[in-house]
Structure formats: C-alpha cells, structure tokens
A and B are shown apart, each in its own frame.
Chain A
C-alpha cells in the first residue's frame, strides 16, 4: 500500500510535520521532529526514483478523481530527480541548522523557524510533483511566503528590505504566472498539464495563448532570476540567515527552473515555444550576458556571501542557456547542472555559514588565515569551490562538459570559448577566497578561532564528498538527465 501512496507521502511528511513543529515549544524537540520527517522524505524520494527509473511514470489521482476533473500528481524521472534534490539537500542543511541557529535566535523562535523551513520544503516538493497547472500556483504561493519570512529573519536589518524587494518581484512573477494559467484555461477549458499539452497545439495562432506564453516567460524568469530580472537575488541571498541561504540557493531557483522546463517543453511544447515564439532568440543572448556580467561582478565583491550570490546568477544563466540551445547535450547539461550546482552552492554557503559561525562576518578580510585556524572546514570549501569552477573529477566538470559539447554541436566555437572564459572568472573569484584563507595572516581578534562542532562539519563534508562522487559516477545525474532530455525533445533514445 505504501508504495502506491508514495506521491502523497513524500509531500505530507514535511507539510504535516510543519504545524506539529510550530506547536512544540522546545526548539530541540522540534528539530528532532524536523530531522525525522526530512530524512524520511529523502527515503520516500529515493523510493519514488526507484519506481520511475527507466521511464515508468506515476500518475496519482488526488481525492480519487480522475484528471482532468480532479488534480493529478504526476511523477517522471525529472520530477523525481528534483524531489531528491530538494529533500536531500534540505535535509543536510537542517542537520546543521540546530547548531547554527543557537547563536542567532532566541530558542523559543526555533520551532517556528523549523516549521517555516519545512513548509518551504514541502511546497517546493508540491510544485515539483504536481501535474496540474493551477496547483503549481497554489504551492508557489506557500513557497514564496515562507521564503520571504525566512529571508526577513536575517540578523541584519537590511534583510527586511531584501525580503520586501523579493516580495514585490516575486508577487509580480506569481501574478504573471497566474494570468498565464488563467489564459490557458480560458482557451482550453482544462488545467491538467497533460490535457493542456494535447489541446494547446490547436490554438497556437490564438493571441490569448501567445500572451499567456509571454506572461509565463516573464513571470517564471523573475522567479528563476534570469538576467536582467535577477536583481532581487544578490541581496536576498546576502542578508538571509546564513544556513537558510544554503537551502534557498540549492532549491528555490532550481524548482522555478524545473517549472520553466516543464511548461516550455511539456505544456506549451517545443514546436510552439521555440519555432513559433522564438524563445531561444530571447534567452540565449540574455543568459550569455548574465553569465559574463554576473561572473565579472562576482570577481569584484568583497563580501563572500554576496560574491557567491552573484556567482549563482551566473550559474543559473548556464542552466537557462543549456535549455535554450535546444539540443540533447544542452538540455542534459541544464538538468545535470541544476542538480550539481544545487549541491555545490548549498555546500559552499553552508561551509561559509560555518566560517561565519566562528568569525562572525563574511567579509573577505575577516576570513584571512582561516585555512589554518579552521583547516577541516576550509578544505571542504576548497573542494566545493573546485566543483564550482568545474575542475575535472568534480561534479561541476560534468555539467560544464555537456554545456560546452552542446555549444560545439551547434558549431558555435565562440560560445564554447566564452564558457571557458567564464569558468576562468569563477577560478579567479574562488581563487581570491582561497588565497586569502591560506596565505594571509589572520587578524589578531580571530587568532583563537577553531573548527566548528562536528554537527555542522558532517553536512559540510557530505556536500563536498557528494560533489566528488557525482563527478565520478554520473549515472544518477547525467544518465538520468540524458533520458529526460530525450523524452522532452521527443527523440527516441
């Protein structure tokens, strides 16, 4: 019985432990409950992946009503991969959260914080597994609200402004997506994604559908932070509480990207999105500009958190670029990088959080000499940084390799060259941090700094080791992504 109910269970585990968590006064007990539920949902996500492995898609009818009348939950390899991404990386961050919260918040707030975190996680899972267009919007609302609350909880007063700015941009994005869904419903009379995909091709000349596509693209681009609609992201990531940034960087934008891929390829269809609406003409220049400008901005940042946030903008542009190139390697790169970058960036933000935990600041000059005072933490940071640059034997290399191959498939040597240049920029900004960490003398007030408690170290190193593991074994990432790319593009593998 459990195996057929998994699609509901994977969502309910986190969604239902959130209210229970909020009722527990003792922060430690709330943390234990949150840990139980998130690690169980990791197990459930892996079980789901095992069920859909090889292309056996699951369709689960909520309330027992068959689609299109009822709401369908639909899971294929892509959604299973994204659910694993959310649960696994979320679980690793939560594992480190208890120690990290102790220093920043009074203990009676902890349970509420975990509850918000769980709500955010469950809503992202909800967005990923659903097969109903309106249902996406419902869970998008939960995820947005909880994200604003999490960001606004940052220690700095500027976190409030960052959260408010994100709130405005996010609300505009969500409203646009809602208009797009409403327009689709107006023309087709259905909200089920598979049903929409069947009915939309008849209406491609309809202006309502064209406007719907335009609204959707802008709305989701705001959420994904596609250049030039990225401007909420750097401050939001910089001022969010430190461990939260790790979670948000890993999941929020990636799930938005998933929604983008799902709608563009599955609902609107490749033919309409690319041949008729010329989405690639819009996205390719934007993402190239995003890669170069954001990487360059990252190089000149003196706050490491902000530096990593700008690097996220650049990396997201890689994924959008891969998607817009519209060939097998590009799409494989996009999906693989979605997973790999989530892992690497979450790890980087988490190790950075560990450093802030001891040093109390993310300014580059305060991290001087940290390689000697916190050797174990910094070593994990270096491995993850190598992954971000894309050095061979790390996960980052795999996805960049596919992306460069995709550029070469199109005979765009200049694009491959640009990608290599941007990787060199990543090398510069990561190198800058490593240089300061190992070769600068620590300021006197940070002489006594030592490594963080083992409860934070383990998740940090888990991220680092996973980065190496997925650099060597690509079956679960690039292998799956390749199959997904085949099915999204409608090419038999």
Chain B
C-alpha cells in the first residue's frame, strides 16, 4: 500500500490529490509505527504528518493553484538513477542487518538496558520514551525545539505574518469561502462539538506525557489543529481576534526561552546545562519539575508555530 501510494503521488498532476495521498501515506506510516510498538512516534506522525502538514499544503495550494505542470521526460532521468542507487544500497545493507526484534541485537545491548532499568529510579516517569527524550537526550529535544522555532522565523521572514501594516488599509477580506463555510450547518455544528474536546485532549496529552504516549510535540500540534479548525470554519478574522497575531508571534520564542530557562537555572544552581537534578532539592523532584516545564515549553512553541504559520499562509491567500 505504501508503494502504491507513493507511485500515485508521483504520477498525479493534481496537487490536491497528491496532498491527500501524502496525508494517507503518513497515516499508513503511523500504523506501521504502531505495529512496531513505537506509540509515541506513531502519535507524532499521525498528528504532524497526517494532520498539520496536510493543512499547510492545502493552504499553500490555495495560493498557487491546483495543478502542476507536467515535467519534461528527460529531466527525470538523473533523479531516477539516484533513487534506484539509493534503494539498491539500502537493500545491499539490509543483508547484514540484525534480525528484527532479535534480543541480542546491538541496540538492545548497549545503552538501552540502562534506560529501561534505571530510568524510573534516576529520572522518574513511567514512560521511558519521555525520560530519554526529555532528560537523557534533553539537549537533542532542545535542538528540535530550535528547529521548529527556526522554521517559524523563516516563514515569518519570508511571508511576514502579523506584520500587516496599519498604514495600508487592505480591502476587507472578501471571505467568499468563509461565508460558504459558515452556511454549511453540518460542518459548523460538528466543529462546535469538536473544538472544545480537542483542546482539552491536547492539555491531557501535554500533562500525561510522563505516563503514557504524548508530550509537548503532540499536544502542541493537537492544540493548534483545534484552533486551525475553528479558523477554517469561522474564517481567519475571528480566529485572529481570539489570538492576535502580533502577540501570538511572541509565543514561539517564549516556549524556547522557557526550555532554555530550565537549563540556565540548573547551570546557576551548579549543574550542567539541562541537569534537572539541580532544579529542586531532591533530584527526583527536580527531574519531575524540569520535565514538566520543558514539555510545556515544547508545547507552547509547537502550538504557536503551527498557528502562526497557518495564519501567515492564509493571509497570503486572501
């Protein structure tokens, strides 16, 4: 199914169907991750790959139009050779890979045992993925928040969200789509029903990340998708009245600084950067508070970045 989907994505010239197929592709990947017991990854893939990025692609299509030009046949030769070469190399490598799920595979022998056996005593959360992500390799996660923030700054720099100048009075957005959307009673009623529970679910995912799958990344995306749904149904203007873009543009930085703040605080308390042991008098409490705060930072940054990018894309298409 994955292969069939990819071939269809490449063959189609309708951008709309390509985007929907890509969303489907992400959903399939998410199912595969689920089967492989990587619940957190599956969750993220479903939220980001199938959800958020699809919306961004659709917003982009609203700007550029629905069809692509057919590519000239000669031009695809070099990429095709490169793809076949890559695939061949991957297959070549797969002959010597450790068997799937084998207990004595190196990845289960070296660093993983300590994560599995001692994280409960050293870090705390029952969800080992959270311990690794937020504490053992918290610096990587900090970097990832930096990536999200960079994406936001890049979009802002190129498209310019929230910088609509007061001086130039734009004509009131025609909002033809929004009007027609608002008249669709079914959509409106369903979204009314859905938005509030989704927001609450996002908060649940945010705070429950210690115990089950979830955490700041997933929660941020879910939170943002609720707001985006609201904006899709009721139009961008009410959504922006709810969350003024000018203030919203501060939030990604706030999240990043919150994350770094924990690290700097632990440095001031005599530890290394992001050493949560030093955050409170008892190391385990410190880990607990540290992880809660950095996950909140992640959540704020991710949600704010998603909403910001959506706003700036849809402002463009008005």
Contact = CB atoms under 8 A, between A and B. Distances in A.
Most chain B beta carbons < 10 A, residue from A5, A113, A139: A5
Contact of B146 (A15, A70, A190): A15
A62 B111 contact: no
Contact of B272 (A62, A126, A148, A212): A62
Interface string B256-298: 1100100110010011111111100000000000000000000
A115 interface: yes
A22 B253 contact: yes
A196 to B, nearest CB: 11
B111 A69 contact: yes
A401 interface: no
A64 B150 contact: no
A63 B276 contact: yes
Q: Which of B146, B151, B275, B276 has the most CB of A within 10 A?
A: B146
Contact of B157 (A16, A116, A185): A116
B106 A188 contact: yes
B163 interface: yes
B140 interface: yes
Interface stretch (A203-211, A265-273, A392-400, A402-410): A203-211
A115 B271 contact: no
A190 B260 contact: no
Interface size class of A (residues with CB under 8 A): 35 or more
B225 to A, nearest CB: 22
A112 B93 contact: no
Nearest to A143: B150
A426 B81 CA distance: 35
Nearest to B146: A142
B207 interface: no
B33 interface: no
**Which secondary structure characterizes the binding site on chain A?**
helix
Nearest to A134: B140
A382 interface: no
B56 interface: no
A149 B153 contact: yes
A189 B95 contact: no
Residue from B144, B151, B272 with most neighbouring chain A CB atoms (10 Å): B272
Contact of A208 (B93, B149, B257, B278): B93
Given A183-B93, A189-B106, A63 B260 contact: no
Contacts of A179: 90
A211 B93 contact: yes
B106 A64 contact: no
Interface stretch (B130-138, B170-178, B215-223, B229-237): B130-138
Contacts of B257: 16, 19-20
Contacts of A311: none
A145 interface: yes
Contacts of B146: 15, 119, 122-123, 138-139, 142
A70 to B, nearest CB: 5
A176 B163 CA distance: 37
A113 to B, nearest CB: 6
B110 interface: yes
A119 B256 CA distance: 12
A109 B144 CA distance: 24
B158 interface: yes
A50 interface: no
A135 B143 contact: yes
A65 interface: yes
Contacts of B115: 69
22 contacts: A12-B260, A12-B264, A18-B153, A62-B272, A63-B139, A69-B136, A109-B163, A116-B154, A123-B146, A123-B150, A134-B140, A138-B143, A142-B150, A148-B154, A149-B150, A186-B106, A186-B107, A189-B108, A189-B110, A190-B111, A207-B95, A208-B93
Interface of A: 1, 5, 8, 12, 15-16, 18-20, 22-23, 60-65, 68-71, 108-109, 112-113, 115-116, 119, 122-123, 126, 132, 134-135, 138-139, 141-142, 145-146, 148-149, 152-153, 176, 179, 183, 185-191, 206-208, 210-212, 214-215
| The 10 nearest A-B residue pairs measured at CB | A19-B253, A189-B110, A211-B93, A149-B154, A64-B275, A138-B143, A189-B106, A62-B139, A8-B273, A207-B96
Given A183-B93, A215-B89, 6 more contacts: A12-B263, A63-B136, A64-B272, A135-B139, A149-B157, A186-B106
